[in-house]
Amino acid sequence: MIRNTAHLEALLGDIRTFVRERWHPLEDQVSRDNDIPPELVDELRRKGYFGWSIPEAYGGLGLTTEELVLCAMELSQSSVALRARVGTNTGIGSEALVADGTEEQKQRWLPRMATGELTGCLALTEPEAGSEASNVQTTARRDGEHYVLNGGKRFITNAPVADVFTVIARTELGSKGSKGVSAFLVERGPGLTTGEPYRMMGQAGSFVSDVHFDDCRVPASQLIGGREGTGFQTVMKVLNKQRLHLAALCTGPAIRMLDLAMMHTSRRSQFGQAVADFQLVQAMIADSRTEIYAARSMILEAARARDLGEDVALSASMCKYFASEMCGRVADRAVQMFGGSGYVADFSPIERYYRDVRLFRLYEGTSQIHQLNIAKLALREAGMR
């Protein structure tokens, strides 16, 4: 649903200009320094980019799902560090509060997340709870007016720079699976420590690390929604929206890589003609352009359905699966179209994009987990299971 076309066009134009004029010239530097210049993060704060999906009542832009995915496709036509920096606040870092927080919890944290004063993150995954996310071992024991958290989280995006953590922990000690699990909003403070940022295959400038809880006392008022045992339902709400968001964030880099590849093949001449004029190269352009179009179309359709209040569990999973795999295929073709220059960092940004986008097929549900989920929901929809 698009609420106001003129406002949205203005925002999309602003993002486009920012990405092309401010971010693209800095991509190499961000990758080299493995850091985003603080003044650029401040600029993102001033622009309100941290608050896209936070409701207007709490200081955000209150984008609908359709507006959010359109903005995400624009912002992500860049190296992944950019959207990774703002993306947890516009997605998994704030969404549990937006979906299930009490009014008091929303008032307390969302306005400062919307301005980017606070950076949020989602701490779900653990060493023994990856694809099997419900195997959460982190415990939250009630002690008077507090919960005491113990355990550890792994692979948490933005943990090293986060101020607030949405933490999924087991409140019913001894319970198994998704039952007895609750969601908390935990502020950085005593008992919570984050590890050193990992050394990763790609996405330089984006920080990911472990999170440790060592008798971390959290006021009971920070139990999201004020009810124990509903943490997994909250996470599923977050992920259903986030899968559409992430699918859009997979589409932007594919658009950028194809743009770069078309530019390169149009200028690069071999055998007396531009390589873009060879039909075998054109096949790679055609396949990439077609798949980008398919991803964009399905994401927009699912986003509109979500805005209408429809259940998008199946379509969101299909979008994440298709868009992340599509992006991987486009990255591979882009390397091919650039030839040796696609492999050598000195000659093109394509090798960096290729490494950056590899993660898309792993996090927020691996492709295999989405295949299983899609089949399960499709069979159920057909009344056969």
The residues carrying an active-site annotation are: 364
Cβ count within 10 A of residue 126: 23
In terms of CB distance, is 56 or 128 closer to ligand FAD? Answer: 128
Question: In the bound complex, what is the minimum distance in angstroms from residue 81's beta carbon to ligand FAD?
Answer: 12
Distances (CA, A) of 324 to 148, 183, 362: 38, 28, 9
Distance CA 258, CA 282 (A): 12
Task: Assess 53 for contact with ligand FAD (CB under 6 A).
Answer: no
In terms of CB distance, is 78 or 125 closer to ligand FAD? Answer: 125
In terms of CB distance, is 123 or 337 closer to ligand FAD? Answer: 123
Site for ligand FAD in 191-210 (CB under 6 A): 200, 208
Task: Assess 250 for contact with ligand FAD (CB under 6 A).
Answer: no
Question: In the bound complex, what is the minimum distance in angstroms from residue 359's beta carbon to ligand FAD?
Answer: 5
Using CB under 6 A as the criterion, what x/- string covers residues 335-354 for binding ligand FAD?
Answer: --------------------
Among 27, 67, 291, 364, binds ligand FAD (CB under 6 A): 364
Q: What share of the chain is helix, strand, coil (3-state, %, to 5)?
A: 55, 15, 30
Distance CA 203, CA 84 (A): 9
Task: Assess 249 for contact with ligand FAD (CB under 6 A).
Answer: no
In terms of CB distance, is 157 or 315 closer to ligand FAD? Answer: 157
Distance CA 278, CA 27 (A): 31
Task: Assess 368 for contact with ligand FAD (CB under 6 A).
Answer: yes
Asked if residues 324 and 246 have their Cβ atoms less than 8 Å apart, the reply is: yes
In terms of CB distance, is 73 or 238 closer to ligand FAD? Answer: 238
Task: Assess 362 for contact with ligand FAD (CB under 6 A).
Answer: yes
Task: Assess 18 for contact with ligand FAD (CB under 6 A).
Answer: no
Number of residues that make up the chain: 385
Question: In the bound complex, what is the minimum distance in angstroms from residue 361's beta carbon to ligand FAD?
Answer: 9
Using CB under 6 A as the criterion, what x/- string covers residues 96-135 for binding ligand FAD?
Answer: -------------------------xxxxx----xx----
Asked if residues 314 and 241 have their Cβ atoms less than 8 Å apart, the reply is: no
Q: What angle do CA 163, 169, 170 make, to 5 degrees?
A: 165
Which among 257, 256, 274 is positioned nearest to 265, based on CA atoms? Answer: 274
Question: In the bound complex, what is the minimum distance in angstroms from residue 367's beta carbon to ligand FAD?
Answer: 7
Site for ligand FAD in 207-226 (CB under 6 A): 208
Distance CA 33, CA 76 (A): 20
Which among 325, 328, 357, 338 is positioned nearest to 259, based on CA atoms? Answer: 338
Task: Assess 366 for contact with ligand FAD (CB under 6 A).
Answer: yes
Task: Assess 137 for contact with ligand FAD (CB under 6 A).
Answer: no
Exposure on the CB side of residue 385, measured as CA atoms within 13 A: 9
Asked if residues 204 and 81 have their Cβ atoms less than 8 Å apart, the reply is: yes
Question: In the bound complex, what is the minimum distance in angstroms from residue 132's beta carbon to ligand FAD?
Answer: 7
Task: Assess 155 for contact with ligand FAD (CB under 6 A).
Answer: yes
Exposure on the CB side of residue 191, measured as CA atoms within 13 A: 16
Asked if residues 156 and 205 have their Cβ atoms less than 8 Å apart, the reply is: no
Task: Assess 369 for contact with ligand FAD (CB under 6 A).
Answer: yes
Task: Assess 157 for contact with ligand FAD (CB under 6 A).
Answer: yes
Task: Assess 84 for contact with ligand FAD (CB under 6 A).
Answer: no
> Tokens 């980019």 map to which residue?
49
- Two tokens at 311? 């259940």
Question: In the bound complex, what is the minimum distance in angstroms from residue 223's beta carbon to ligand FAD?
Answer: 19
Question: In the bound complex, what is the minimum distance in angstroms from residue 78's beta carbon to ligand FAD?
Answer: 18
Distance CA 242, CA 236 (A): 9
Task: Assess 90 for contact with ligand FAD (CB under 6 A).
Answer: no
User: Residue numbers of the site for ligand FAD (CB under 6 A)?
Assistant: 121-125, 130-131, 155-157, 200, 208, 359, 362-364, 366, 368-369, 372
